Amino acid sequence: MTATQPSPAPEAPARRPAPSTRTVKAVRTAGGLSLRIEPRAALSALLLLAVILAVSVVLIGSGDFPIAPADVVATLLGNGTAAQEFVVQHLRMPRVLVAILVGAALGISGAVFQSVSRNPLGSPDVIGFGQGATVGALTVIVLFQGSAADVAGGAAVGGLVTGAAIYLLAWKRGVHGFRLVLIGIGVAAILTAVIHYLLTMAKLEDATRAVVWMTGSLDGRDWAEFRPLLNVCAVLIPLVLALGRPLRMLEMGDDAAYALGVRVERTRIVLMASAVVLVSVAAAAAGPITFVALSAPQLARRLTRSPGPGLGASALMGAALLLVADWTASNAFGERELPVGVVTGVVGGVYLLWLLVTERKAGRI
Amino acid sequence: MLVESPPQTSAEPIAAAQPSRRNSIRALGLFAAVGVLLLICVLSIMVGAKEVPLGEVWHGLFQNDGTGNDVIIRDLRVPRTLLGLLVGIALGLSGAVMQALTRNPLAEPGLLGVNAGASAAVVTAISFFGVTSITGYVWFAFLGAAVVSVAVYVLGGSRGATPVRLALAGTAATAALYGYVNAVQLLDAAALDRIRFWTVGSLATANMETVRNVTPFIVAGVVLALLICRPLNAMELGEDTARALGADLNRTRVLAMLAVTLLCGAATAACGPIVFIGLMVPYLVRAITGPDMRWILPYAAVLSPVLLLGSDVLGRVVTRPSELQVGIVTALVGGPVFIHLVRRKRMAQL
């Protein structure tokens, strides 16, 4: 909207009248560069970062071998005992880092899909991508009894193939949000049948393993899962963030975006492909964790109160959500450690009800 | 309920130029469909892990004297076929009623989460309340189906609804409910072993007791659906027109939801969630009969079991000697139909 004009945004022909309390600041350098900063959004991002750091420290400290938060920080800075060093470096650190990256990947790809489909329910786990990854992983588990790495590979391939199939099926002189969502729902139904078929033909122990995988779990994640995830995220998250502004223009409709100089179809395909890859690698690392991609962008939007997809805040919110869910799953039920997916699923169901009620009042769904 | 308004009846001859001729063609088509249904029923009794020749089908049905094939027919194939018949009718009619009620060609109990609601309730019954017989958990299924159908209709289907909104509301509800079902399975390994076959949607475990238990509910649902086809016709013209034609909107909505709940709840309790029957059949039927619910409902009631039993027979044949559950076959067949429907229709029509 304000591609060329810095602060304060003139009354663009936007739907909502610009609230008087809203301040958008612009930082300008001597070289003629300028950067728009929304104080509330920046503050929210800092807050989320603080939450992520704090919960990470608590998560690293909790378990069968408890470590006090101060000791955790000391160990991370290289001043811990050998035992603490071992537990932190080899057992708990990778799990927390995987949780952060998976949460960020889910949050940002949820924001992309919700923005492209222009619907707060158009998240990748509702419109078929999660099911694609599950089919890939279950094929490996049930038919080939593969190792954990094979299962991850199967999930990634399944997610990517499904993403390509949905895009091609929804293509008809361009991809429109409504068709993408409906085709995705149809594909999801077919894939669910395939998942059920694989579950019924499995031996009981394979079926149990498959159900655990389908729920989504962070148990026993180590550096081997972390590195490929980090590589993909390091490339794609900045790419998606860089396309945040064209994406925001796309929300105004293809014609308006085109008039403002956005290459509509190319931007959309790059964004969607990146989002699909992010969802697939996240599923490969931790299983198809539901509802993080659905809820993180909406929660982030309410926190920052900024218009547009809010990609960065969604990524931070996704990471924070998953960390809190993981802490809850491993500590809130006494001795019994639940997979993190159970917690996100239950929270997601409640969140969904709330979303349906409030968004329906506003007429946005 | 049955609006006996003189203006409507007197308007009919003007609307349809040759109503008697068109109606006789439709009636003829319905007879043909019944013929196909009988054929499929016989096929369903013949085909399976052990083939039964046609002559012995007759023998087994009417002169049962306890030979091997007679036992197979009496104890396995006949209950399975009857259950397929009942469940097919239930799913087809509930799909047609939902489509009329929401004025949305994509409305379908499987897609809108009604079956998932019934599933979640049944899984709760099995795992937490130790209910093991269908007489016990059919009530849970009704409760789940009723809650979800009302919730999805209210949240996604009433005023200003679009098909996308309705479908998304249903799918998201389904995702949440299956997440819950998965969690229960995870915590209760014994339940997993029982539930994982039931959640697929299968006719394989059918027996006469199940058939007897769900029959009254499905019959009640069918009668209810047939009774409201006139007001549903009126509602398809839009709320204002329907009110002007003398239809009681709220009563029709309540009765339609009740019919959907009875039909879907009973069908799901009997054989697990089965998707897409309620989507495909009314869509195909509409192409034959046009938009009149008084013809759509009977056609759907005859053709839905044809599709369901046909899928079941197909599932018994393709992966011999094991079987593909009917819920999987209907999803694999129905998914592409759904995608075709989405691609073909223009947004304005949806």
DSSP B186-250: HH-HHHHHHHHHHTT--STT--HHHHHHHHHHHHHHHHHHHHTHHHHHHHTT-HHHHHHTT--HH
Q: Is residue A24 part of a domain?
A: no
Q: Is the pLDDT of residue A106 over 90?
A: yes
Give yes or no for a contact between A282 and A152, defined as CB atoms under 8 angstroms apart.
no
Residues of A in contact with B186 (CB under 8 A): 211-212, 215, 339, 342
Instruction: Tell me which residue has tokens 């919730």.
Output: B151
Contacts of B339 (CB under 8 A, 6+ apart): A169, A183, A186, A187
Band (pLDDT 50/70/90 cuts) for residue B68 is confident
pLDDT at B15: 47
Task: Over range B95-101, report the average pLDDT.
Answer: 88
pLDDT at A364: 55
Say yes or no for a CB contact (<8 Å) between B172 and A365.
Answer: no
Please choose, from the candidates B270, B271, B266, B169, the residue with its C-alpha nearest in 3D space to the C-alpha of residue B225: B266
How far, in Å, CA of A238 to CA of A315, rounded?
11
Q: Is the pLDDT of residue A66 over 90?
A: no
Q: Give the tens place of pLDDT for each residue, B10-31.
A: 444 444 456 677 788 888 888 9
How far, in Å, CA of A235 to CA of A232, rounded?
5
Please choose, from the candidates A136, A229, A127, A117, the residue with its C-alpha nearest in 3D space to the C-alpha of residue A183: A127
How far, in Å, CA of A162 to CA of A168, rounded?
10
Q: Is residue A42 part of a domain?
A: no
How far, in Å, CA of B163 to CA of B102, rounded?
9
> Closest to B276 (Cβ–Cβ): which among A172, A189, A196?
A189
Give yes or no for a contact between B212 and B270, defined as CB atoms under 8 angstroms apart.
no
Number of domains in chain A: 1
Angle formed at CA A107 by CA A233 and CA A48, multiple of 5 degrees: 95
pLDDT at B157: 52
B186-191 long-range contacts (CB < 8 A, ≥24 apart) are B186/A211, B186/A212, B186/A215, B186/A339, B186/A342, B187/B127, B188/B127, B189/A208, B191/B123, B191/B126, B191/B127
pLDDT at A333: 67
pLDDT at B301: 92
pLDDT at A321: 92
Q: Give the tens place of pLDDT for each residue, B181-225.
A: 877 777 776 776 767 667 677 787 778 888 888 899 999 999 999
Residue of A nearest to B107 (CA): A182
Instruction: Tell me which residue has tokens 């089965």.
Output: B274
Contacts of A333 (CB under 8 A, 6+ apart): none
Contacts of A354 (CB under 8 A, 6+ apart): none
How far, in Å, CA of B255 to CA of B257, rounded?
5
Q: Is the pLDDT of residue A8 over 50?
A: no
Which tokens go with B15? Answer: 């609307």
Which of A113-117, A303-307, A318-322, A342-346 is predicted most confidently? A318-322
Q: Is residue A276 part of a domain?
A: yes
Task: Over range A231-248, report the average pLDDT.
Answer: 89
pLDDT at B223: 94
How far, in Å, CA of A109 to CA of A318, rounded?
10
- Terminal Cα distance for chain B, rounded: 28
Say yes or no for a CB contact (<8 Å) between B176 and A172.
Answer: no
How far, in Å, CA of B162 to CA of B103, rounded?
9
Task: Over range B330-347, report the average pLDDT.
Answer: 79
User: Looking at the DSSP assignment, which residues form a beta bridge with residue A26?
Assistant: A36
Angle of helix B189-198 versus helix B163-187 axis, rounded to 10: 140
pLDDT at A239: 92
Q: Is the pLDDT of residue B83 over 80?
A: yes
Residues of B in contact with A339 (CB under 8 A): 186
How far, in Å, CA of B222 to CA of B217, rounded?
9
Q: Is residue A103 part of a domain?
A: yes
Q: Give the tens place of pLDDT for each residue, A272-292.
A: 889 999 998 898 888 888 888
Q: Is residue A5 part of a domain?
A: no
pLDDT at B158: 55
Please choose, from the candidates A141, A144, A322, A150, the residue with its C-alpha nearest in 3D space to the C-alpha of residue A214: A141
Which of B:118-177 have CB within 8 Å of A?
155-156, 160, 162-165, 167-169, 171-173, 175-177
Q: Three-state SS for A115?
A: helix
Quote the DSSP letter at residue B72. I
Give yes or no for a contact between A276 and A163, defined as CB atoms under 8 angstroms apart.
yes
Please choose, from the candidates B79, B128, B120, B86, the residue with its C-alpha nearest in 3D space to the C-alpha of residue B266: B86
User: pLDDT over 90 for what percent of chain A?
Assistant: 14
Q: What is the pTM of this model?
A: 0.78
Please choose, from the candidates B103, B233, B93, the residue with its C-alpha nearest in 3D space to the C-alpha of residue B162: B103
How far, in Å, CA of A3 to CA of A262, rounded?
11
Range of the domain at A91: 50-361
How far, in Å, CA of B348 to CA of A213, rounded?
41
Instruction: Tell me which residue has tokens 């794609």.
Output: A236
Instruction: Name which residue leads in pLDDT, B313 or A330.
Output: B313
Instruction: Name which residue leads in pLDDT, A356 or B71.
Output: B71
Band (pLDDT 50/70/90 cuts) for residue A334 is low
Say yes or no for a CB contact (<8 Å) between B155 and A357.
Answer: yes
Mean pLDDT of chain A: 81
DSSP E strands in chain A: the ranges are 25-28, 34-37
Band (pLDDT 50/70/90 cuts) for residue B72 is confident
Does B346 lie at the interface with A, CB-CB under 8 angstroms? no
Q: Is residue A339 part of a domain?
A: yes
Does B239 lie at the interface with A, CB-CB under 8 angstroms? no
Residues of A in contact with B339 (CB under 8 A): 169, 183, 186-187
Residue A207 CB burial class (10 angstroms; 0-12, 13-18, ≥19): buried
Residues of A in contact with B193 (CB under 8 A): 204
How far, in Å, CA of B187 to CA of A344, rounded?
16
> Closest to A349 (Cβ–Cβ): which among B162, B180, B199?
B180
Which tokens go with B22? Answer: 């068109």
Q: How far away is chain B from the Cα of A196, in angstroms, using its nearest Cα?
A: 6
User: Looking at the DSSP assignment, which residues form a beta bridge with residue A27?
Assistant: A35
CA dihedral (B43, B272, B182, A158) in degrees, to 10, reads 40
How far, in Å, CA of A140 to CA of A163, rounded?
19
Q: Is the pLDDT of residue A109 over 80?
A: yes
Residue A40 CB burial class (10 angstroms; 0-12, 13-18, ≥19): middle
Q: Give the tens place of pLDDT for each residue, A139-186.
A: 998 888 878 788 888 888 998 999 889 888 887 776 677 788 888 888
> Closest to B332 (Cβ–Cβ): which among A190, A348, A360?
A190
Please choose, from the candidates A293, A284, A288, A316, the residue with its C-alpha nearest in 3D space to the C-alpha of residue A104: A316
Helices and strands: H and E segment counts in chain A: 15, 2
Task: Identify residue A205 by its one-letter amino acid code.
Answer: E
Q: Is residue A6 part of a domain?
A: no
What CATH number should be reported for the domain holding residue A320? Answer: 1.10.3470.10
Q: Is the pLDDT of residue B348 over 70?
A: no
Band (pLDDT 50/70/90 cuts) for residue B309 is very high
Say yes or no for a CB contact (<8 Å) between B196 and A207.
Answer: yes
How far, in Å, CA of A336 to CA of A194, rounded?
31
Task: Over range A27-52, report the average pLDDT.
Answer: 80
How far, in Å, CA of B330 to CA of B316, rounded?
13
Say yes or no for a CB contact (<8 Å) between A183 and B339.
Answer: yes
Instruction: Quickly count: other Cβ atoms within 10 Å of residue B216's Cβ.
Output: 11
Q: How far away is chain B from the Cα of A83, in angstroms, using its nearest Cα?
A: 33
Contacts of A30 (CB under 8 A, 6+ apart): none
Q: ipTM score here?
A: 0.76
How far, in Å, CA of B20 to CA of A53, rounded?
77
Q: Is residue A340 part of a domain?
A: yes
Say yes or no for a CB contact (<8 Å) between B186 and A192.
Answer: no
**Cis check: omega of the bond before B321, within 30 degrees of 0:** yes
